[in-house]
Amino acid sequence: MMLSLATVAPAGARRFSGITLGRTLRSGRWFLTCSPKHHLIPIRHEERFSGSPFKNYRCFSASAPDRNQRTPSFSYVVVGAGSAGCVLANRLTEDAHESVLLLEAGPKDLWLGSLRLSWKIHMPAALTYNLCDDKYNWYYHTLPQAHMNNRALYWPRGRVWGGSSSLNAMVYIRGHAEDYNRWHREGAAGWDYQHCLPYFRKAQCHELGENRYRGGRGPLHVSRGKTNHPLHKAFIEAGRQAGYPFTDDMNGYQQEGLGWMDMTIYKGKRWSTASAYLRPVLSRPNLKTEVRCVATRILFDGGRAVGVEYTQNGQKKKVFAEKEVILSGGAINSPQLLMLSGVGNADDLKELGIPVVQHLPGVGSNLQDHLELYVQQQCTQPITLYKAQKPFHMVKIGLEWLSVFTGYGATAHLESGGFIRSRPNVTHPDIQFHFLPSQVIDHGRIASKIEAYQVHVGPMRSTSIGWMKLKSPNPLDHPVLQPNYLSTDIDVWEFRQCVKLSREIFAQKAFDPFRGPEVQPGPQVQSDAEIDAFVRQKADSAYHPSCTCKMGSPSDPMAVVGADTRVLGLDRLRVVDASIMPSIVSGNLNAPTIMIAEKAADIIRGRPPLVDPGVPVYQPSTLETQR
């Protein structure tokens, strides 16, 4: 379409705030004239508004930096197509009058549009391939940890459509109701359990149907762990024999106890946020996605975010947001991009020569993670996954999954687990178990060497708080990650309890038919000092970094975003992902991150918040005992 500019509007022309709209007499095509403070920007087909005569061009204020006639613009620019970004892309484009550009540093989660060709992502049992490879993974490492024998710990984070929901173990855990009530007390007004539970339900489509706690109509398919494996049954029964309750839904009324896990697996395939939220809406004309593009900085006009600069295929590009820029890069990438853009601790930014846009010392602070270790027991019967990890059996498992999406490849084998309290006077569980009928060595890089089973165990609410900072102004340099693991006495004591309580469960009668020698920590590790030394040598990240852009009250000097997810002191800029958690929740983080994005989408769209007051939650009959 040609663009005609005229100084005099012909008959029939319309005027809109300094813009003259008319048709050429010869062709009947629309043309625009703008006042000197405006200029024209082409509109892609995907951005057209229903019934609008502005078919291929839109007019914007020229006050934003570096705009030209070829610079694209959208209502919202979302940075990061992970657990939160895919949700936002879906929910914000439900309004046909809003347009969204979703930027992702990694590739799509399908190769040539095929689940089977992308089996390393979509086969649940193949999860360790991508955890141990940097193709879809940022592959971060922490600083050497002073309290962990100076080990630098490995942090896999997703760099692909779906983000870490395309890499994780697919365990669906929400955390405890008190985690969200604590958020409210910590300054995140309106983020208590009664305001969060409805968004967990909104997201979820549980195979067991909906009730007061479960959703049944959302896009996120959730299945209940189902297996007849005798070791999973033995673990749950051993917990009962040790005095812990059975819970029929650790995401419902009663988190405390042992039972069957919920999983984001649907019909034998991983159900990431790309599967649930993004790919089903790619045909929407108001949604555009870009992949393999690394955001390098947020563009500001004074204190107002107006766009994002990014690199793609070696080229530097810019895109502008009419309404807001939304960061959904996760607990590492979102604070990193803020700091690269001049938002963070002013002293740190000045040292790197980055112009300060807003002094917010909380950016990158408050870093929290879950640490865990494996208690492993040799199995006297050949029923573990040991043989399944042999090449011949792996081929058979893979062929069955590629054919009909069933068999050993259709599960992550973490069907059972649970939550318990470490000591008396703890109001809700602070230790989590994931049981696996196999042995994991070095993040799964090394195949199991013997018939063995294990429990992943770790404290849920660590008091060791860390930080992250930029290594340099180069966006491609990984930031400096300092979680300060095991830096407090209570964290060391809780890990000691994790080992002792796991051993107690493994010693119950239910495991008598299967129990061989202890593999790890090993019979030589008995005293508190020996257990502590084992923990420092063997504990590792559970891959749950969070809380680095803390949500809180504007009066909190370490808060980064308010309860509305807006970055404090700046306009038109939000953060929506696991980084805004005020404190880490008691469980895996994928489900809470999806909930955060669902709730934030309603906030952004100006919708009244969903609320469900008075939801009953299990309370222990006494706090005078540990169980």
Is 519 a known ligand-binding residue? Answer: no
Q: Is 359 a catalytic residue?
A: no
Rounded to an integer, what distance in angstroms lies between the CA atom of residue 192 and that of residue 186?
10
- In the chain, which residues have pLDDT < 50? 1-64
H-helix or E-strand spanning residue 204:
strand 204-206
Tell me how far apart the alpha carbons of residues 144 and 564 are, in angstroms, rounded to a whole number: 36
> What is the C-alpha to C-alpha distance for residues 271 and 335, in angstroms, rounded to an integer?
27
Identify each DSSP E strand in 444-599 by its residue range: 452-459, 467-469, 480-482, 515-520, 540-541, 573-575
> What residue ranges in 219-360 does DSSP mark as E strands?
220-224, 257-260, 262-263, 265-266, 269-270, 287-290, 293-301, 304-312, 315-327, 343-344, 358-359
Rounded-to-integer distance, Cα 195 and Cα 198, Å: 6
Q: pLDDT per residue over 124-178, tens digit each?
A: 999 999 998 899 999 999 999 999 999 999 999 999 999 999 999 999 999 999 9
CA dihedral 458, 459, 460, 461 (to 10 degrees): -150
Q: Is 498 exposed, middle or buried (CB count within 10 Å of its CB: 0-12, 13-18, 19+)?
A: buried
User: What's the whole-model pTM score?
Assistant: 0.89
> What was the pLDDT predicted at 188?
98
The verdict on whether residue 171 carries a ligand-binding annotation is yes
CA dist 417 and 406 (Å) reads: 22
pLDDT digits (tens, 9 = 90+) for 250-277: 999 999 999 999 999 999 999 999 999 9
pLDDT recorded at residue 8: 33
Burial pattern 435-472, b for ≥16 Cβ within 10 A else e, equals bbbbbbeeeeeebbeebbbbbbbbbbbbebbbbbbbee
What pLDDT, on a 0 to 100 scale, did the predictor assign at position 221?
Answer: 99
Separation of alpha carbons 237 and 118, rounded Å: 38
User: Could you report how far apart the first and last alpha carbons of the chain are, in Å?
Assistant: 73
Ligand-binding site membership of 169 (annotated): yes
Candidates 68, 67, 71; CA nearest to 44 is 71
> Is 211 assigned a ligand-binding role in the annotation?
no
CB 268 within 8 A of CB 405: yes
- The pair of structure tokens assigned to 133 is 């490879």
Q: How many residues are present in the chain?
A: 627
Catalytic residue, chosen from 195, 232, 370, 544, is 544
Instruction: Give me the helix-helix angle, 85-92 and 590-604, nearest 10°.
Output: 30
150 annotated ligand binder: no
Query: How far is residue 248's CA from residue 250's CA, in Å, rounded to a whole number?
Result: 7
Q: What was the pLDDT predicted at 72?
A: 86
- CA–CA distance, 584 with 368 (Å, rounded to integer): 6
